[in-house]
Chain A
Amino acid sequence: AQSVTQPDIHITVSEGASLELRCNYSYGATPYLFWYVQSPGQGLQLLLKYFSGDTLVQGIKGFEAEFKRSQSSFNLRKPSVHWSDAAEYFCAVNRDDKIIFGKGTRLHILP
């Protein structure tokens, strides 16, 4: 069965530092991959998506992600985090119009 793994439940970084959130998936074919962000008590917002083509994708809010087929990974990065980036981040994969979500990584920002 396909799945999405986010190995880090919590990550803490200092404001202005770089960020990388990890995501691994298990899926036979090239997947459709997403990163979503959720602020407390809110819905999910789509940060970026990968369907095909260039393996480095740019998203909103200064985020980017890189698809690495050999590692079955789709890690999210940001060069310099802001206090407003504190939220929960979900990696997800789509198959047959259904999305499977990882369990999320909660990002904490130190001032």
Chain B
Amino acid sequence: DGGITQSPKYLFRKEGQNVTLSCEQNLNHDAMYWYRQDPGQGLRLIYYSQIVNDFQKGDIAEGYSVSREKKESFPLTVTSAQKNPTAFYLCASGRTGAHEQYFGPGTRLTVT
């Protein structure tokens, strides 16, 4: 089955630690996206990539980093510089030139 996978579903970390969230897609989509979701806030764009080895900052990139070494994979690292990392993180992908995006199941990160 084609789709987007995110792992793990739940992630717990201590404050001050970096953590990497996984996102893999087998839809052959060129573009991939990371969003953060907080209650009542909708979705906010963290980073996006439209081609391998290239990515751009979204609206709330501070404290996050990404890489895009393979078309299928777009991992997100939440660094210790992110002041409020506890949130639900969603990965999405889409075809270049198409306008809709398709979402993975999300990872809930809790930092204490």
Chain A positions within 8 Å of B, measured between CB atoms, are: 9, 32, 34, 36, 41-46, 49, 51, 90, 94, 97-99, 101-104
- Across the interface, do A98 and B45 meet the contact criterion of CB distance under 8 Å? yes
Tell me which of B4, B96, B103, B106 contacts A41 (CB under 8 A): B106
Secondary structure dominating the interface of A: strand
B residues 85-102 near A (Cβ < 8 Å) are 88, 90, 92, 94, 96, 99-102
- Across the interface, do A43 and B104 meet the contact criterion of CB distance under 8 Å? yes
B residues 56-112 near A (Cβ < 8 Å) are 58, 88, 90, 92, 94, 96, 99-106, 108
Tell me which of A43, A46, A98 contacts B48 (CB under 8 A): A98
Contacts of B100 in A (CB 8 A): 32, 34, 46, 49, 94
- Across the interface, do A42 and B105 meet the contact criterion of CB distance under 8 Å? yes
Contacts of A46 in B (CB 8 A): 100, 102
- Across the interface, do B42 and A103 meet the contact criterion of CB distance under 8 Å? yes
Complex Cα distance, B93 from A47, in Å, reads: 16
Q: Does B20 contact A (CB under 8 A)?
A: no
Complex Cα distance, B92 from A36, in Å, reads: 13
Interchain nearest-CB distance for A59 vs B (Å):
12
- Across the interface, do B106 and A103 meet the contact criterion of CB distance under 8 Å? no
Tell me which of A9, A42, A99 contacts B101 (CB under 8 A): A99
Q: Does B43 contact A (CB under 8 A)?
A: yes
> Knowing that A32-B100, A41-B106, A41-B108 are A-B contacts, what are 8 other residue pairs whose CB atoms are under 8 Å apart, sorted by A's residue number?
A9-B40, A36-B103, A44-B90, A97-B94, A98-B58, A101-B42, A101-B43, A104-B40
Q: Does B41 contact A (CB under 8 A)?
A: yes
- Across the interface, do B104 and A104 meet the contact criterion of CB distance under 8 Å? no
- Across the interface, do B105 and A51 meet the contact criterion of CB distance under 8 Å? no
Residue of A nearest to B44 (CB): A101
Contacts of A90 in B (CB 8 A): 42-43
Contacts of A44 in B (CB 8 A): 43, 90, 92, 103
